Structure 1
Amino acid sequence: MQISELARQADVTTKAVRYYESLGLITPERLANGYRNYNEDDVRLVREIRTLHQLGIPVERTRPFLDCLAAGRLHADDCPASLATYREAIDELTERIEALTARRATLITNLNAAAHRGSSSKAPEQTATDSEDYLTLPADLPAPEADGAADHLPGTKTPQISLLNTAGKEIRLDALGPRRTVIYIYPLTGRPGTDLPEGWNSIPGARGCTPETCGFRDHFQDLLEAGAGRVYGLSSQDTDYQNEVVERLGLPFDMLSDPTLVLADTLGLPTFEVDGMRLFKRLTLIVRDGVIEHAFYPIFPPNEHAQQVLTWLRENPL
């Protein structure tokens, strides 16, 4: 067969085939007219090279596997030299993983340090009483009802929705990747000098957004170490409002803004109304590979919820 047919059957380019030949990994028959003539054995060898290369083994180091096939073995890794090459590749990959893990840990440490730097400072209008009011939950805070409003979410595909984050970027919820993303959804964070809606404390599940957010801030590094790839807070407040919260609380993660509650309407998320506003009820989604893997709902008490998510991640490793 011609080189184009070999490339088609082996799912590689003709340039790749020529490269394999230059390394002596395949040696096609030469016809009387000088043209190369490839056969099914060459197809098998090229497929083997491609598969090994996809696993991270350089093309130049696939020769032991090809020699194993040439020796009549059924599988390319039936020979000791092939196993040795596997071990070498694993050792090199382990070194790379350890180096990347160390770099990741350093970046997380730097992020936490930068995010918390100066977070104890208060805005001019913020008093100690303001801070205590938002961080302290009343003893008689009513618990939200377990009404099953989120039972349909696990296993549901994440919708193709883009939301603006506090870094000014559009985030596609269906393209968050294979690592777990924690999205805690909340109704409204209190703001120093701004009154909360009337009767806020008496609405089950309404009070506690700031303590919940501080919990995710304080457990941020633990969540990443437990397998979370990202953490987002999500509410219907605009990004300017959310940016004030990110700065005031020293958050090491971004918020997502959904002012029209398109996510609630698309997924059928529970909401409530107060003072003419429609707000999200508090719930948390664990998203992976474009699918909602788990949903926490109802959430109570909110100041302990980040620890609940952390416990779930540790008990359900990937």
Structure 2
Amino acid sequence: MRISELARRSGVTTKAVRYYESLGLITPGRLANGYRDYDEDDVRLVREIRALHRLGIPVERTRPFLECLAAGRAYADDCPASLATYREAIDELTERIEALTARRTTLIGNLNAAAHRGSAVVPSEESGTADDDYLTLPADLPVPEDDGAVEHLCGTAAPGVALCDTAGRTIRLDGLGPRRAVVYVYPLTGRPGTDLPEGWNSIPGARGCTPETCGFRDHFQDLLEAGAGRVYGLSSQDSPYQNEVVERLGLPFDMLSDPSFGLADALGLPTFEADGMRLFKRLTLVIRDGVIEHVFYPVFPPNEHPEQVLTWLRENPL
């Protein structure tokens, strides 16, 4: 067969075939007119080279596998030399993973340091009244009950709702990738000098958004080390409002804004009314590969919830 047919059947380019030939990995026959003539054995060899290369084994180091096939073995890795090449590739990958892990740890540390540098939460003395101290939770907060509103969520596919984050990007929960994403959903964060809705403290599960957010900030590195690939806060507040929270609290992660409740409507998430506003009930989604893997609901107390999520991640490693 001609080189173009070999390339097509093997899933490579003709340039790649010529490269393999230059390395002596394949040796075609020659026709009377001098043209190369490839056969079924060459197709098998090129496919083997391609498969090994996709595993990260350099083309130049596939020779032991090809020689194993040439020796009549049914599989390219039936020979000791092939197994040795596997081990070398695994060792190299392990070294690279360790180096990347070290770099990732350093980057996370730098991110946390930068996020906390100069951050300040306005204390109650500066806010005017104790009610403005959003970091302190009253001792008599009502405990939310499990009304079964999220029982349908585990195993459900995350919808393709487009949400804006505080970095100005469009995020889809069905496209967050294979690593676990922690998305904590909350009603609204208070802001110094801004009144909370009437009777806020008496609504089960309403109070505590700022302490919860600060908890996710303080445990951010722990969450990543426990297997979370991303952390997001999500509410119906618009992005400018959320940006103020990110800056004021020094958050190392972004917030997602869903003012139209597209996610709530798509998934049937529970909401409630306060002061004429529709707000999300507090819950947390763990999403992996576009599927909701776990749901925390109800969430109480909110200031301890980040530790609850961290415990779950550690007890349920991938």
Q: Equivalents in 1 of 2:250, 2:128: separation in Å?
A: 17
Partner of 2:174: 174
Give the Å deviation of 1:212: 0.7
Q: Equivalents in 1 of 2:243, 2:221: separation in Å?
A: 21
Partner of 1:219: 219
Decide whether the 8 Å contact of 2:271 with 2:278 is kept in 1.
yes
Q: Against the structure 1 CA distance between its residues 125 and 174, is the aligned structure 2 distance closer, same or farther, given a 3 Å change threshold?
A: farther
With the length of structure 1 as denominator, give the TM-score of the two structures: 0.96
Q: Equivalents in 1 of 2:63, 2:301: separation in Å?
A: 61
Q: Against the structure 1 CA distance between its residues 131 and 51, is the aligned structure 2 distance closer, same or farther, given a 3 Å change threshold?
A: farther
Partner of 2:16: 16
3-state secondary structure, aligned to 2:24 = coil
Partner of 1:202: 202
Give the Å deviation of 1:133: 2.6
> In the TM superposition, what are the counterparts of 1:152-301 in structure 2 within 5 Å?
152-301=152-301
Q: Equivalents in 2 of 1:242, 1:292: separation in Å?
A: 24
Residue 72 in structure 1 maps to residue 107 in structure 2: no
1:140-159 Cα distance to aligned partner (Å, 9 max, x none): 11111211111111111111
Q: Which amino acid aligns with 1:111?
A: L
Give the Å deviation of 1:36: 1.7
Decide whether the 8 Å contact of 1:166 with 1:254 is kept in 2.
yes
Q: Equivalents in 2 of 1:124, 1:143: separation in Å?
A: 24
Give the Å deviation of 1:122: 3.7
With the length of structure 2 as denominator, give the TM-score of the two structures: 0.96
Q: Which amino acid aligns with 1:82?
A: S
Decide whether the 8 Å contact of 1:130 with 1:192 is kept in 2.
no
Q: Equivalents in 1 of 2:238, 2:264: separation in Å?
A: 16
Q: Equivalents in 2 of 1:131, 1:309: separation in Å?
A: 28
Decide whether the 8 Å contact of 1:165 with 1:239 is kept in 2.
yes
Partner of 1:60: 60
Give the Å deviation of 1:121: 6.0
> In the TM superposition, what are the counterparts of 1:122-137 in structure 2 within 5 Å?
122=122, 126-127=126-127, 129=129, 133-137=133-137
Q: Against the structure 1 CA distance between its residues 125 and 17, is the aligned structure 2 distance closer, same or farther, given a 3 Å change threshold?
A: farther
> In the TM superposition, what are the counterparts of 1:143-158 in structure 2 within 5 Å?
143-158=143-158
Q: Equivalents in 1 of 2:8, 2:130: separation in Å?
A: 69
> In the TM superposition, what are the counterparts of 1:34-49 in structure 2 within 5 Å?
34-49=34-49
Give the Å deviation of 1:213: 0.6
Q: Against the structure 1 CA distance between its residues 130 and 257, is the aligned structure 2 distance closer, same or farther, given a 3 Å change threshold?
A: farther
Q: Against the structure 1 CA distance between its residues 127 and 62, is the aligned structure 2 distance closer, same or farther, given a 3 Å change threshold?
A: same
Q: Equivalents in 1 of 2:127, 2:107: separation in Å?
A: 33
Structure 2: gaps of 5 or more residues? none
Decide whether the 8 Å contact of 1:125 with 1:193 is kept in 2.
no
Give the Å deviation of 1:311: 0.8
1:14-62 Cα distance to aligned partner (Å, 9 max, x none): 2211211111111111111222222111111111101100000011110
Residue 98 in structure 1 maps to residue 64 in structure 2: no
Decide whether the 8 Å contact of 2:127 with 2:193 is kept in 1.
no
CA RMSD of aligned residues (A): 1.7
1:253-279 Cα distance to aligned partner (Å, 9 max, x none): 110111111110111110011111101
Q: Against the structure 1 CA distance between its residues 203 and 42, is the aligned structure 2 distance closer, same or farther, given a 3 Å change threshold?
A: same
Decide whether the 8 Å contact of 1:29 with 1:38 is kept in 2.
yes
Give the Å deviation of 1:120: 3.2
Q: Which amino acid aligns with 1:40?
A: E
Q: Equivalents in 2 of 1:193, 1:108: separation in Å?
A: 33
Structure 1: gaps of 5 or more residues? none
Give the Å deviation of 1:235: 0.4
Give the Å deviation of 1:124: 12
Decide whether the 8 Å contact of 2:227 with 2:313 is kept in 1.
yes
3-state secondary structure, aligned to 2:286 = strand
Decide whether the 8 Å contact of 2:124 with 2:130 is kept in 1.
no
